[in-house]
Structure 1
Amino acid sequence: MDVEEVLLPGVGLRYEFTTADGRRIGVVARRGGGFEFVSYPGHDPDEVHPLFRLTTEEAEAVTEILGAPRIAERFADLTREVPGLEAGQVEVTARSAFDGRTLGETRARTRTGASIVAIVRGEDVIASPGPGQPLRAGDILVVIGTRQGITGVESILAG
């Protein structure tokens, strides 16, 4: 899909694309925060119909909702394309020494070569978590690496 980016001086950026059914849609990312979704009913780019607005926080929630299935798809595709690479899920239990500590404290990537690419926390998905991300009992870590690396992350969290 082609997404056109248009600079709106003093306003922000507008991203435009055409849907599969031929509708032209735009998303305006405002400099001051927030997003406005618009449609273009005709061929005139100046004829705009506002659809709705989202705060930055609301847009992040929508991104997580829409991004979670795409993240899973991309990892599944990647593991099929790269021999020896697998995706796994590791739970942080209440007995884990890392319950309440940060992801970085596990040193999982350094110790195993496997990467924790997302954390599923209830209904939320934290994509690309940073080392300062706290871990909680019940979190499911999405891990990409070799089978041995994934097993190593399980061992670290269990220990």
Structure 2
Amino acid sequence: MTIERTALPGVGISHSVTTAAQQRLGVVSHLSGRRDLVVYDTEDPEQAARTVTLEDHEAHQLAGLLAGTVTVDHVGELERLIAGISAVRLRIPAGSAYDGVALRETRARTHTGVSVVAVERDDEVIPAPDPGFVLRHGDTVVAVGDDPGIVALTALIAAVS
């Protein structure tokens, strides 16, 4: 499933997906912290059929139920420079098998051929983290590799421990 992200100036950000059954769903993240879940009309996938408003704490609880989702953000400029190589940002979700595990113990490069080149934690960027660096929920891993490797790493990060 591909997650589409759209900036909504003055409102927030909209994320939308289309399921295997061709049902379109979305989440509008307002600048205030409020979240709107959107179910789109099956006849007109641009028209909302139903909207459910969630307060911040409700959204967090629902996210816990849906844990295991990983969003892949492509780093476009780098990808244009090197054909066949993708640079992505992968957020470590709650419950990930990588949460609380040292980078060396993940054996990510061995299993996928993808290199972790940095980790974003809170407002800090850790370039070239050493093998003993412990990943945690909420970290964003910056990784470089080919498409099959990125897909494999995404699946490993999404796996629930």
TM-score, normalised to structure 2's length?
Answer: 0.49
The structure with the greater share of residues assigned to helix is 1
Higher-Rg member (1/2)? 1
TM-score by length of 1: 0.50
